[in-house]
Amino acid sequence: MVTITINGRVLEVHEGSTILEAARSNGIDIPTLCHWKGINEIGACRVCVVEVEGCSNLPAACVTNVADGMVIHTSSPRVVSARRVNAQLILSRHNCHCPSCVRNGNCALQTLSASLNITANPFPEKQIKNRFDAGDSPLIRDDDKCIQCMRCVSCCEKVQTLGIWQLNGSGGRTNIAIKNGVKITRSDCSFCGQCITHCPTGALRARDDTAKAIAALKDHNKTIIVQVAPAVRATWGENLGLDPEVATVGRLVAALHTMGFPYVFDTNFTADLTIMEEGSEFVARMQDGKKHKYPLFTSCCPGWVRFLKGQYPQLTDDLSTAKSPQQMFGTVAKTYLPLLLDKKPEDIYCVSIMPCIAK
């Protein structure tokens, strides 16, 4: 343990810890944008700078270790001024059309700007032209919202071990792009969505098909059905601040009916079909002697299927041939359901509410 002083408070903290860790463990807030403990500790955003007595510069709290006797100021006029300048420089290269951004109200940069009372930017705007070709990808990247925090790069490299993202260019021409310059749909990306989850701004997001669903609801020639994944059914009320006792399945179904969906289904139904198909396939493998290897891998997650095919192509033959529950429901909706409703398959429009972008 070492003794340090933060904002006049004498504290005992673990030796080897960073100023950021020491401050937060004692209830002292220091803002960050790029920091992700153990994954992305690079001090790139410079909004976590602090003042250390005896040090001429302002070190980044996330990468500076404490030392015995260190006296630290986290909110001195010099620190606040430096943070404001650093944040304004980031904002000068950022698309600040917040009302139309998917992260509006849940954006680390927006929160930081509000806490620093930034209402105007003295620096000229120089937004990066969007160079990302999404195609039909479920993952969308907006270069003009990227703050180059490197969290997506570190996440994909260290957590998912795929290394899809890389840093291109230098200086003002620096940008994050898909490795080797290929389209993301032709890369080894498994569409796990972790880079979206850990992006502090709206630079990475899931493709929004809401407009297509609304257009379908307005088409009276279509019979609209919706399938809801079990994870969505169980957690839909969390973002609305509803207790589990309030966010019931019945209320979810009632809400979907009110929106205009006449038929609401649970993907659990085709999850059971998937289990039956995979189970039958496995039994058949066991009975055909030495024609097949073991084990039989499930194919119920498209993200997992992409990961296996991209990273372990030699195991592709060990994948089940069954579709995912979501895909299997689509098949049932276009084959069996039209018989029940006396409709043409092309008049059935299926909307899927899923918990991840891979589906």
CB 44 within 8 A of CB 88: no
Topology adopted by domain 1-125: Ubiquitin-like (UB roll) (3.10.20)
**pLDDT at res. 55:** 93
**pLDDT at res. 288:** 79
- At position 56, the amino acid (one-letter code) is S
**pLDDT at res. 292:** 67
DSSP characters over 191-224: ---HHHHH-SSSSEEE---HHHHHHHHH-TTSEE
Sign of CA dihedral 89, 94, 95, 96: negative
* Residue 217: exposure state from Cβ atoms within 10 A (0-12, 13-18, ≥19): middle
pLDDT band at 134 (very low <50, low <70, confident <90, very high): confident
- Distance of alpha carbon 334 from alpha carbon 343, whole angstroms: 10
- Distance of alpha carbon 285 from alpha carbon 169, whole angstroms: 51
Query: Under CATH, to which class is 209-359 assigned?
Result: alpha beta
Statement: residue 133 has pLDDT above 80: no
Largest CA distance in the chain: 81
- Distance of alpha carbon 237 from alpha carbon 242, whole angstroms: 5
Closest to 226 (Cα-Cα) out of 333, 301, 300: 333
- Per the listing, tokens 């160079």 go with 131
pLDDT band at 217 (very low <50, low <70, confident <90, very high): very high
For the residues 244-258, what does the mean pLDDT come to? 95
Answer left, alpha or beta for residue 306, where phi above 0 means left and psi between -120 and 50 means alpha: alpha
Considering the domain 139-206, what is its CATH architecture?
Answer: 2-Layer Sandwich (3.30)
Statement: residue 56 has pLDDT above 80: yes
Lowest mean pLDDT among 6-10, 123-127, 213-217, 257-261: 123-127
**pLDDT at res. 295:** 85
Statement: residue 168 has pLDDT above 90: no
